[in-house]
Amino acid sequence: MTRIRTAAVRHGMLPLAVLATLAAGCGTQRPGDTAGAVGPSRTAVAQPSTPVDFACPGESAVPAPSSAASDPTAPVTDHYAENHGFMVPFPLHGQSRCDGLAAVARVRGALEPLRKHRDFDPESTRSALIDLGFPAGKVTSYQNGPTAVGFLIDTYPLCVEGAMNRAATEADAFAGYPDHVGCDRPSGGH
- Condensed to tens digits (0 to 9), the pLDDT of residues 99-140 reads 999 999 999 999 999 999 999 999 999 999 999 999 999 999
Structural domain total, the chain:
1
Q: Is residue 111 part of a domain?
A: yes
Q: Is residue 66 part of a domain?
A: no
Please provide the average confidence, as pLDDT, over all residues in the chain.
78
Q: Is residue 170 part of a domain?
A: yes
**Across the strands, what pairs with 161?**
152, 172
The predicted model scores a pTM of 0.65
Q: Is residue 134 part of a domain?
A: yes
Q: Quote the pLDDT of residue 86.
A: 77
Mean pLDDT of the 176-188 span: 85
Q: Is residue 88 part of a domain?
A: yes
Q: Is residue 164 part of a domain?
A: yes
What φ, ψ does residue 57 adopt, rounded to 5°?
Answer: -55, 130
Q: Is residue 74 part of a domain?
A: no
Structural domain including 94 reads 82-174
**Rounded distance, CA 38 to CA 78, Å?**
45
Res. 34: pLDDT tops 50: yes
Q: Are 155 and 134 in contact (CB under 8 A)?
A: yes
**Across the strands, what pairs with 166?**
none
Q: Own/partner pairs for 5-13, CB < 8 Å, 24+ apart?
A: none
Q: Which of 99, 154, 112 is nearest to 130 (CA)?
A: 154
Cβ atoms within 10 Å, residue 71: 15
